[in-house]
Amino acid sequence: MSSTVETTTAIHPFHIDVPEEALDDLRRRIASTNWPEKETVADQSQGVPLAMIQKLARHWATDYDWRTVEAELNALPQFVTEIDGLDIHFIHVRSPHEDALPLIVNHGWPGSIIEQLKIIHRLTDPTAHGASAEDAFHVVIPSMPGYGFSGKPTGTGWGPERMGRAWAELMQRLGYSEYVAQGGDWGAFVVDQMGLQAPEGLLAIHTNMPATVPADVDEASVAGEPAPSGLSAEERRAYEQLIRTYGQVEYARMMAARPQTLYGIADSPVGLAAWLLDHNDADGQPAATVASALERTESDTGELTRDEVLDNITLYWLTNTGVSASRLYWEYKGGFFNAKGVSIPVAMTVFPGEQYQAPRSWAERAYPNLMYFNEVDKGGHFAAWEEPELFAAELRAAFTSLRTTNGGRQ
C-alpha cells in the first residue's frame, strides 16, 4: 500500500434522503429555463437539439420521480469511509455464495454508480440469472472523488493514479485479500493504473475501454495525421475510429482546460443535462445509445431508458457535482487510449459501440498477460448500463480461469 494513503479506517452506513425542497427547487428551475432559439441545422452537429432537450425537460419537471431510484439505492448496502483525507461513498453487496470472487467496479463520466445498478444482482446472485454459484461475485462500487455522494477534493491530485491506490485500500479495508477490478470510461483509466501499481491481492483487471494503441499510431491519431503504413484492415478500422472520436471531444477539451468556468451546469438543471448528454459514442454525438434511450420509457431486457438517464443527471444535480466531476479531466495529463504497460493479467471485452474497437493484435501487445479477449455483437460505451445481461456474462467468462486456480475466496 502506498505511503501516501493515510486513513482512518472506520466504515459507516450511508442512507440517501434528499429533502423535498431540493426536488421542488429542481422542478422550479427547469420550468424557468431561459431557452435559446432552435439550432440552424437539421442534424445534431451544433449540439443537443432544442426539441430533444425540451421534451426531456418537460418530463423531468412534471412526471419524473427521483424517489424511485432513491429507494432502489437505499435498498442496497451503502457506506462511506475516509481514504486519504476524503470521504468515499460506495455500494457493497456480498453474494449469498461465500466463495464468490470479490470485484470492485469503476464508473466514469458522465456516469455514476447508477450505471452499475442493473449488474449488481446479476453478479452477486448468478443462479437467479441462468448461471451457476461458481460464477458469483461480491461487488463493491465506489463513487469516484468529486462524483455522487463521495467527497469533493479541495486540492489537486485526485487523478486515476490516486484513485487506484484508494480502491486498493478500500478492498483491503473490506477484508478482501484477493480481488479483481473492472472499469470502463474513466474507470478503465483507474483499473489500468491499478494494474500498473499491482497492489497485493489484485489478481486481474477487466476493461471495456482498453488502452491498446501503439505509440506511433497514438501519436498520429492524436495529431489527426494519415494512418501509419503497415496496418491490417482491423487496425486501420480502429485508426479511423480514433480519428472520429478525437473529432468529437470538445467537451473533454473544455473540462481539461477550464473546468471552473462551467458555472452554468451548477446553476441550471437543463444546462447540466445538455452538457452530460453531449457525450459521444461510436454512433454519434450526443451518444446515440443515450439519445435513443430518451424515447424508451421501459425495457424488459435491461436496455437503457429515459428515466435511467434522468436518474444519473438528477444525481449530478442534487449533489452539485457537475463541476467537481469535470476536474478529473484537468487532473489527468496522460494519453487516452495509448498502451500504459500493464503486465498483470488482463481481461478485455470489445463492444461495437465503444469509441474505438481495439484489435486483438494491439491488445496482445499492450497487455502481454492478456487472459481473456472477446468481441461481442451489441453494446457500447455505457456497456453495463446498456446491456447488463451481456456485461455480467462477460465478467463471469473473463474471470473463470482465476476461480479454477486460486482456491476459495474470503
Distance of alpha carbon 136 from alpha carbon 14, whole angstroms: 25
Give the model's pLDDT for residue 378.
Answer: 95
Q: Where are the domains of the chain?
A: 15-402
CA distance 2 to 285: 39
pLDDT tens-digit profile of 201-241? 999 999 999 999 999 999 999 999 999 999 999 999 999 99
Predicted local confidence at residue 75, as pLDDT: 98
> Alpha-carbon distance 335 to 92, whole Å?
31
* Mean pLDDT of the 129-156 span: 97
For residue 405, the model assigns a pLDDT of 58
**pLDDT for residue 97:** 95
If we measure between CA atoms, which residue out of 109, 160, 140, 158 comes closest to residue 321?
109
Question: Which pTM does this prediction carry?
Answer: 0.95
Residue 1 confidence (pLDDT) above 60: no
pLDDT at 406 over 70: no
CA separation for the pair 103, 126 (Å, rounded): 14
Q: Class for domain 15-402, per CATH?
A: alpha beta
Summarize pLDDT for 251-289 with one digit per residue, the tens: 999 999 999 999 999 999 999 999 999 999 888 899 999
Q: Cβ distance 197 to 168 under 8 Å?
A: yes
DSSP per position, 287-353: -HHHHHHTT----SS----HHHHHHHHHHHHHHT-HHHHHHHHHH--S-SSB-----S-EEEEE-TB
From residue 45, how far is each of 280, 282, 288 by CA, in Å? 12, 15, 13
pLDDT tens for each residue of 53-104:
999 999 999 999 999 999 999 999 999 999 999 999 999 999 999 899 999 9
Q: Decide: helix, strand or coil at residue 135.
A: helix
Which pLDDT belongs to residue 403?
86
Supply 154's cell numbers: 479541495
Burial class for 78, CB neighbours closer than 10 Å (0-12, 13-18, 19+): buried
